[in-house]
C-alpha cells in the first residue's frame, strides 16, 4: 500500500552515448534488458570505451540510470562483464604505478609540491580563464557530486580506531548532519555560480576518459573488500593533497570572479582537509595497519594509483588548454563558443 504523500523513486541520469564496442554493448544491454556482452581483452585500459563501460557498470551501484531496473545492479552476467573490465584496468594500474617502499614513503611523496609550480591548480590560479574553470568543474562534477560516497563502503570493513576516525571524517564530508553543508551540495552550488547544470551525471557525455578513470578508481576500490587498504590509501591521497590545491583553486575562483559559492567550496576544503589529513594519517591509516599490518602495500598502492590517475587527468587538461582547445568531448550541449 502506498503511503499518503509518498514520492515516486528518483529517476537516475540518462544512459550515455557509447564510445566504442564495449560501452555500446553494455548500454544496449541495459536499454533492452538483454544479455551482457563479452569484454574485449585488447581494449585500452585507460581509453574512452573501457572507462565508459566500467563507469556505467559502477553507476548501477550509485543512482542507476533512467529506465533501467534497480535490480540490474546485481545481474550476474553484468557483474562478470564488469569483473573482466576491472581486471584489465587494475592490471594496467599495477604495471604502471611505481611501487613505494612503504606507506610512509608514499605519503611523503604527496607532500612534495612541484618546484616550478607547473601543476594544474597552479595553472588555474595563475593564468586560468573562466571558461577553463567551467570545464574543470564540469569534468570534476562526476567525482564531486558523489564525493565521499564510495569511501563510505569501507566502514563495515574497518573496526576500532580506524572505523571511528573514518566515520568522523565522513561525517564532515556529509555536512556534519546539515544537508546544506554536504560537500556534494557545496559543489553543486559552485556549479550554479559557474552557470553549469547541477543535474547529477549531466556531463558524463562530455567528460574525458581521464576524468572517468578518476571516478572509476574510487568505485573499484570501494566495491571490493579485498581492496579496502587501497581505498584507505585513496582517501589519504585525497585528503593530504586537498588543502594546498584547494587554496590555489579558491584563489583562481576569486581572481576570475567566479562567484561566492565557487570560492566557498574550495575555502571549505582548505580548512576541513587540513584537519582531515592528520586524522587520516594517524588514526585511519595508523589504526588500520595496527590491526592489519599486511595491508601496508595495498595502502601504498592506493596512494600511488590515485596520484597516477590524477596526473593523467591534469596532463590531459593542461595539454588541451595550452593548445587553446576545449578539454570536453564535443558530444553534448556544453557551450564552448566563449573559447578565444
Q: Cell numbers 553494455 correspond to what residue?
A: 26
Q: How confident is the model at residue 99 (pLDDT cuts 50, 70, 90)?
A: confident
Classify residue 335: in a domain, yes or no. no
Classify residue 255: in a domain, yes or no. yes
78 and 114 inside one domain: no
CA 228 to chain centre: 16
Q: What are the b/e assignments for 56-68, b being 16+ CB within 10 Å?
A: bbbbbbbbbbeeb
Last residue in a domain, options 51, 69, 95: 95
Q: What is the pLDDT of residues 213-256, one digit of tens each?
A: 999 999 999 999 999 999 999 999 998 888 889 999 999 999 99
Classify residue 279: in a domain, yes or no. yes
60 and 166 inside one domain: no
Q: Which region holds residue 207: left if phi is over 0, alpha if psi is between -120 and 50, else beta?
A: beta
Give phi and psi for 35, each to the nearest 5.
Answer: -70, 150
Classify residue 13: in a domain, yes or no. no
CB 110 within 8 Å of CB 237? yes
193 and 71 inside one domain: no
46 and 133 inside one domain: no
What is the number of structural domains in the chain? 2
What domain range includes position 73? 21-95
Q: What is the CATH number of the domain that holds 107?
A: 1.20.910.10
Classify residue 48: in a domain, yes or no. yes
Classify residue 340: in a domain, yes or no. no
With a threshold of 0.85, does the pTM exceed it?
yes
Q: What is the pLDDT of residues 129-180, one digit of tens each?
A: 999 999 999 999 999 999 899 999 999 999 999 999 999 999 999 999 999 9
266 and 281 inside one domain: yes
d(CA 152, CA 170): 7
59 and 114 inside one domain: no
Last residue in a domain, options 76, 95, 114: 95
Amino acid at each position: 500500500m502506498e503511503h499518503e504523500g509518498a514520492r515516486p523513486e528518483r529517476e537516475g541520469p540518462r544512459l550515455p552515448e557509447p564510445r566504442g564496442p564495449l560501452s555500446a554493448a553494455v548500454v544496449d544491454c541495459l536499454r533492452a534488458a538483454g544479455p551482457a556482452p563479452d569484454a574485449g581483452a585488447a581494449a585500452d585500459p585507460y581509453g574512452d570505451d573501457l572507462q565508459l563501460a566500467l563507469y556505467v557498470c559502477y553507476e548501477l551501484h550509485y543512482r542507476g540510470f533512467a529506465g533501467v531496473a534497480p535490480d540490474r545492479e546485481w545481474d550476474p552476467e553484468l557483474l562478470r562483464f564488469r569483473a573482466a573490465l576491472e581486471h584489465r584496468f587494475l592490471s594496467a594500474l599495477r604495471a604502471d604505478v611505481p611501487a613505494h617502499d612503504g606507506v610512509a614513503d608514499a605519503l611523503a611523496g604527496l607532500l612534495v609540491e612541484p618546484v616550478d609550480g607547473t601543476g594544474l591548480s597552479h595553472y588555474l590560479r595563475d593564468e586560468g580563464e573562466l571558461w577553463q574553470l567551467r570545464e574543470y568543474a564540469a569534468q570534476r562534477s562526476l567525482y564531486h557530486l558523489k564525493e565521499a560516497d564510495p569511501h563510505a563502503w569501507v566502514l563495515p570493513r574497518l573496526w576500532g580506531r580506524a572505523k571511528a576516525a573514518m566515520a568522523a571524517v565522513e561525517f564532515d564530508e556529509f555536512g556534519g548532519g546539515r544537508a546544506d553543508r554536504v560537500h556534494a551540495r557545496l559543489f553543486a552550488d559552485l556549479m550554479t555560480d559557474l552557470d553549469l547544470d547541477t543535474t547529477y551525471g549531466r556531463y558524463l557525455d562530455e567528460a574525458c576518459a581521464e576524468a572517468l578513470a578518476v571516478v572509476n578508481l574510487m568505485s573499484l576500490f570501494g566495491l571490493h573488500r579485498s581492496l579496502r587498504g587501497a581505498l584507505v590509501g585513496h582517501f589519504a591521497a585525497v585528503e593530504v593533497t586537498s588543502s594546498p590545491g584547494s587554496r590555489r583553486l579558491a584563489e583562481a575562483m576569486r581572481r576570475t570572479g567566479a562567484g561566492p559559492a565557487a570560492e566557498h567550496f574550495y575555502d571549505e576544503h582548505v580548512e576541513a582537509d587540513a584537519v582531515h589529513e592528520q586524522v587520516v594519517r594517524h588514526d585511519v591509516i595508523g589504526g588500520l595497519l595496527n590491526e592489519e599490518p599486511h595491508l601496508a602495500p595495498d595502502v601504498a598502492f592506493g596512494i600511488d594509483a590515485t596520484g597516477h590517475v590524477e596526473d593523467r587527468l591534469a596532463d590531459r587538461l593542461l595539454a588541451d588548454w595550452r593548445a587553446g582547445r576545449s578539454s570536453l568531448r564535443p558530444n553534448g550541449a556544453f557551450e564552448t563558443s566563449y573559447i578565444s
